[in-house]
Amino acid sequence: MPETIGVNVTQSKEPLPAGVKLPIYMDNHATTPLDPRVLEAMMPYLTGIFGNAASRNHSFGWEAEAGVEKAREQIAALIGCTAKEIIFTSGATESNNLAIKGIAEMYKERGNHIITEVTEHKAVLDTCKKLEKQGFRITYLPVKADGLIDLEDLRNAIDDQTILVSIMYANNEIGVVQPIKEIGALCHEKKVLFHTDAVQAVGKIPVNVINDNIDVLSLSGHKLYGPKGVGALYVRRRNPRVQISEQQNGGGHERGMRSGTLNVPGIVGLGAACEIAMNEMESEAKREIELRDYLRAKLEKALDYTQVNGNMDHHLPGNLNMSFVYVEGESLLMGINDIAVSSGSACTSATLEPSYVLKALGLGDDVAHSSIRFGLGRFNTKAEVDYVSDKLIDVVLHLRELSPLYEMVKEGIDLSKIEWAAH
């Protein structure tokens, strides 16, 4: 996963522009701040309305249950399903696990083949790897250079043992939105269930489970300005009726699919966040696209040898993943330590490995290492974008002054033709 950078801040001695306060948060794909309106909706359930939603014998339980059922309606309205099709979980990782393992277990008599893609979130990839050890056959579809899967690859991968296809709606690193409606239609044509990890898409772009031919969908509170530790799973009730084996036993809550005392304040917050997103999605997306395009234009005008990663025609509004070639990634991040963004590398076993998503697009290690993911969100301003772009331009120009590779490229030397001496 990309490594979020920008916590310990060295305050600049220069006066800050009006409306800018450090550190600046531009990592909204990792998590979003809680919307104050969401906190307001949650507060009564953190204090006076503290009942267990499963307590059916008194008013404390009834009040808690009413809050939960209202949230179910709010979430259902956002994604176009019925309230009874919403199952509450602790977040998208649990939702993905429950969906994939639960379907694999329930339908194993029908087949043992599951299809996903190489750029999925680890919550899907690691779940599939676990099932491989249990004898399931997993196909990991490649992506094209723009991050989209090839529908013909999917069609060719489906066989008579295929029980599930799991393809994410929008990618958390490069913001690319897959052709979900077409994927779902193909799955339904082949009588295969379709699950999507829609964590990054729900609340940002229009998602409708019926129009998109989705059977099972994962979503999370903290990616749409709701609280952490709460999520949901949409499970289709008819045409087809999806059955999922519970992965957590005890009490048979949530239509028997997910036992455990419900996180009432979190659920109420998730519901409120979904209602706000539904009402403000169109205007918010427009504003984020304008900020993103402004940021991109400023960077591209001032810097050469940059590249935008991922298909920008099928894209999340607030996402921009850019590579700044001939700049050493770690040095770049250290230079912008008052800005929270994500890098194209992750700390694994004390070594910096390039992002597997960027590698899947065909990017070399050097380009992947120089990549930055900007996650613009609801509370970012134009003044912040100006500060971030100006700071980044200064740092990149400074680092390139120190880079012999950049100097050689500017002189017209083809680096691929150079034979480097080994020491």
409's CB contacts (< 8 A; 6+ apart) are 305, 326, 415
Answer yes or no: same fold for 4-34+280-417 and 36-277. no
Residue keyed to tokens 């590779």: 405
Distance between CA atoms of 78 and 178, rounded to whole angstroms?
A: 19
Q: Are 28 and 377 in contact (CB under 8 A)?
A: yes
Give me the pLDDT at residue 348, please. 45
Four-way CATH pick for 4-34+280-417: 3.40.50.300, 3.90.1150.10, 3.40.50.1220, 3.40.190.10:
3.90.1150.10
pLDDT surpasses 70 at 401 = yes
| Distance separating alpha carbons of residues 375 and 157, to the nearest angstrom | 33
Q: Are 76 and 86 in contact (CB under 8 A)?
A: yes
Measure Cα distances from 329 to 3, 231, 308, 371, 385 in Å: 11, 33, 16, 7, 20
Give me the mean pLDDT over the 186-207 stretch.
98
Calculate mean pLDDT across residues 153-166.
98
pLDDT tops 80 at residue 88: yes
Summarize pLDDT for 126-135 with one digit per residue, the tens.
Answer: 999 999 999 9
pLDDT tens for each residue of 341-373? 998 765 544 457 889 999 999 999 989 999 999
State the pLDDT confidence band at 2, using cuts at 50, 70 and 90: low
Considering only CA atoms, which of 292, 401, 394 is closest in space to residue 338? 394
CA distance 282 to 204: 8
For residues 227-233, average pLDDT: 98
Q: Rounded CA gap, 284 and 290, in Å?
A: 10
Place of tokens 């960077």: 299
Q: For residue 369, what are the CA distances in angstroms to 90, 199, 297, 348, 392?
A: 33, 25, 22, 14, 16
Distance CA 23, CA 127 (A): 35
Cβ burial of 249 (10 Å; 0-12, 13-18, 19+) is: exposed
pLDDT tens track for 36-67: 999 999 999 999 999 999 999 999 999 999 99
The answer, yes or no, to whether residue 212 has pLDDT greater than 50, is yes
Q: Where are the domains of the chain?
A: 4-34+280-417, 36-277
At 8 the pLDDT is 47
Q: What is the pLDDT of residue 415?
A: 79
Residue 14 is predicted with a pLDDT of 74
Residue with tokens 């379709």: 194
Find the angle CA(365)-CA(178)-CA(209) to the nearest 5 degrees. Answer: 145
Region for residue 328 given its phi and psi (left: phi exceeds 0; alpha: psi -120 to 50; beta: otherwise)? beta
Give the CATH fold of the 36-277 domain: Aspartate Aminotransferase; domain 2 (3.40.640)
Residue 250: CB atoms within 10 A of its CB come to 9
Looking at the predicted structure, is the pLDDT value of residue 421 above 80?
no
pLDDT of residue 13: 61
- Other C-beta atoms closer than 10 Å to the C-beta of 70 total 17
Cβ atoms within 10 Å, residue 47: 9
Q: How far apart are CA 253 and CA 267, in angstroms?
A: 14
CA 273, CA 225: separation in Å to the nearest integer? 6
AA letter at 368: A
Given its phi and psi angles, is residue 248 left (phi above 0), alpha (psi -120 to 50 degrees) or beta? Answer: beta
Pairing assessment for the beta strands 24-25 and 339-343 based on DSSP bridges: parallel
Specify the pLDDT at position 7.
Answer: 44
Percentage with pLDDT > 90 across the chain: 84
Q: Is the pLDDT of residue 98 over 80?
A: yes
**Residues annotated as part of the active site:** 347
- Asked if residue 144 lies in contact with residue 360, where contact means CB atoms within 8 angstroms, the answer is no
The arithmetic mean of pLDDT across residues 309-335, rounded, is 94
CB under 8 Å, gap of 24 or more: what pairs does 181-184 form?
A: 181/211, 181/212, 181/213, 182/151, 183/149, 183/151, 183/154, 183/213, 184/212, 184/213, 184/214, 184/215
- pLDDT of 416 over the 90 cut: no
State yes or no: pLDDT of 72 exceeds 90: yes
Go through the chain and tell me how many residues it has: 423
Measured CA distances, 419 to 51, 106, 404, 415, 422 (Å): 71, 56, 15, 9, 9
The whole-number pLDDT of residue 19 equals 84
- Name the residue with higher pLDDT: 75 or 343: 75
